[in-house]
């Protein structure tokens, strides 16, 4: 079925829908990963975005029930060069086409993804309109221009869990909506560290990594206040990844600022940006973001290079955190942007990238062990 993708600057791309009739409108971004499309599709950090894969062949290993990072497909649309309908993998349960159709997400192929990626790289991520119903280029471009921008939107509140849940046997177990979040949550008696994870768009594999590191995890909504956190009395706080602009999430920044120093904290991606804002830093939007599984990051503690998985369009201004109390720990080798910091006096650290991968390399998996050590050190000095 014929389709058209129009960008706000007037650039138009012809393509074909492999999921049938449909429309989508969102910011258009690209991901450089050669695999892991199901994890990309279900990553809440992609909420409000159409994603194009730079690898040309997509769909060849189908989809399965294990490689999901949330309870639904999060992307607004999926843009590929060539869709492979004949899939082969021993874990596969259905085709990519059927998976997208089941979630009412539009997928298109026969799109010049190389030209689209080069255009976004040169001009920056931008708003787009995708349709099989409206094929007039001028009308489609105008529809793209009418969309709201990503700046200034609190997208974390759209993807966060509505109710707190615990992680049990690889699945979220939701607490009753009227269940008070208090110290009674920790009656597990297994001696594991208790961690409250703020959900700004958390990926399931982050929870698995925290669990494997020795944590009992309760995931709470983004709007959970400081009083509630204190009543829960966890051993540590985790600030998750999430979509969009961090600056509109003012209520969360205020909560985290209120809790600084009381609990060991570990933040990644949006959580990293929120911690940066809570410490007085500033953020800005990158031209086309970091989205892929091959971003080189230097660990300034030991000089080693980590190949990392990333998915973000905003960063903390590295100069805004260059003061006595904060130490820069990681930088991006492609553009010199901030990838990690820790506080010299308060028990907290954060990284911009995704140490849990899914998909991606495991070079930074040690950070979960670092979080456990931070908790132990904080308790030994309490």
Q: Is residue 35 part of a domain?
A: yes
Residue 238: closest CA among 348, 360, 346, 321 = 348
pLDDT at 334 (0 to 100): 96
Per residue in 1-60, pLDDT tens? Answer: 999 999 999 999 999 999 999 999 999 999 999 999 999 999 999 999 999 999 999 999
Cis amide prior to 138 (ω within 30 degrees): no
User: Does residue 181 surpass a pLDDT of 90?
Assistant: no
Task: State the average pLDDT over residues 325-343.
Answer: 97
Band of pLDDT at residue 123, cut at 50, 70 and 90: very high
With a CB cutoff of 8 Å and minimum separation 6, the contacts of 227 are: none
User: Does residue 178 surpass a pLDDT of 90?
Assistant: no
Query: Whole-angstrom Cα distance, residue 238 to residue 317?
Result: 22
**Interior/surface letters 350-364, b for 16+ CB within 10 angstroms, e for the rest:** bbbbbbbbbbbeebb
Query: Whole-angstrom Cα distance, residue 307 to residue 357?
Result: 10
Q: How many domains does the chain have?
A: 2
pLDDT at 52 (0 to 100): 98
Indicate which residue of 109, 269, 272, 290 is catalytic. Answer: 269
Same domain, residue pair 141 and 161: no
Instruction: Give residue 50's domain range.
Output: 2-145
Band of pLDDT at residue 170, cut at 50, 70 and 90: confident
Q: Is residue 51 part of a domain?
A: yes
Q: In what order do the strands lie in the sheet with 265-268?
A: 171-174, 165-168, 215-221, 193-199, 236-239, 265-268, 348-351, 338-343, 326-332, 283-299, 305-316
pLDDT at 352 (0 to 100): 98
Same domain, residue pair 250 and 136: no
Q: What is the DSSP letter of 148?
A: P
Same domain, residue pair 305 and 173: yes
Band of pLDDT at residue 189, cut at 50, 70 and 90: low
| Whether 125 contacts 28, CB under 8 Å | yes
Indicate which residue of 27, 39, 306, 356 is catalytic. Answer: 356
* CATH number of domain containing 107: 3.50.30.20
CA geometry: angle 112, 105, 146, nearest 5 deg: 75
With a CB cutoff of 8 Å and minimum separation 6, the contacts of 301 are: 329
Residue 239 pairs in a beta bridge with 198, 267
| Whether 317 contacts 277, CB under 8 Å | no
Could you confirm whether 272 is annotated as catalytic? no
Same domain, residue pair 123 and 200: no
Q: Is residue 196 part of a domain?
A: yes
pLDDT at 382 (0 to 100): 72
Indicate which residue of 290, 312, 343, 354 is catalytic. Answer: 354
Same domain, residue pair 75 and 216: no
Could you confirm whether 209 is annotated as catalytic? no
| Whether 295 contacts 268, CB under 8 Å | no
Percent of the chain surpassing pLDDT 90: 90
Q: Give this prediction's pTM.
A: 0.95
Task: State the average pLDDT over residues 221-227.
Answer: 96
* CATH number of domain containing 333: 3.40.50.880
């Amino acid at each position: 079925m014929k389709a058209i993708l129009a960008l706000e600057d007037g650039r138009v791309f012809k393509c074909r829908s492999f999921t049938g009739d449909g429309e989508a409108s969102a910011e258009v971004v690209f991901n450089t990963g050669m695999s892991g499309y199901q994890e990309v599709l279900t990553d809440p950090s992609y909420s409000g975005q159409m994603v194009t894969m730079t690898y040309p062949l997509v769909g060849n290993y189908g989809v399965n029930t294990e490689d999901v990072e949330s309870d639904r497909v999060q992307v607004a649309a999926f843009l590929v060069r060539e869709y492979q309908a004949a899939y082969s993998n021993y874990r596969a349960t259905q085709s990519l086409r059927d998976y997208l159709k089941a979630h009412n997400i539009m997928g298109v192929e026969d799109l010049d993804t190389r030209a689209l990626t080069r255009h976004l790289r040169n001009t920056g991520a931008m708003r787009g309109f995708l349709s099989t119903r409206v094929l007039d280029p001028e009308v489609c471009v105008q529809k793209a221009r009418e969309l709201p921008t990503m700046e200034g939107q609190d997208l974390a509140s759209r993807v966060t869990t509505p109710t707190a849940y615990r992680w049990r046997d690889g699945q979220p177990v939701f607490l009753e909506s009227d269940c008070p979040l208090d110290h009674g949550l920790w009656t597990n008696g297994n001696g594991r560290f208790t961690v409250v994870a703020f959900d700004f768009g958390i990926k399931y594999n982050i929870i698995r990594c925290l669990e494997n590191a020795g944590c009992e995890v309760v995931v709470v909504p983004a709007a959970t206040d400081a009083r509630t956190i204190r009543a829960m009395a966890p051993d540590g706080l985790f600030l998750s990844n999430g979509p969009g602009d961090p600056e509109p999430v003012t209520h969360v920044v205020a909560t985290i600022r209120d809790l600084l120093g009381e609990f060991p904290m570990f933040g990644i991606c949006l959580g990293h940006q929120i911690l940066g804002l809570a410490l007085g830093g500033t953020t800005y939007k990158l031209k086309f973001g970091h989205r892929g599984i091959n971003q080189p990051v230097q660990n300034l503690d030991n000089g080693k290079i980590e190949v990392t998985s990333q998915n973000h369009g905003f960063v903390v201004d590295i100069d805004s955190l260059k003061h006595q109390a904060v130490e820069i720990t990681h930088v991006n080798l492609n553009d010199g942007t901030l990838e990690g910091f820790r506080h010299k006096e308060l028990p907290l650290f954060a990284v911009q990238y995704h140490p849990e991968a899914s998909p991606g390399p495991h070079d930074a998996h040690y950070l979960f062990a670092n979080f456990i050590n931070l908790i132990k050190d904080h308790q030994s000095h309490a």
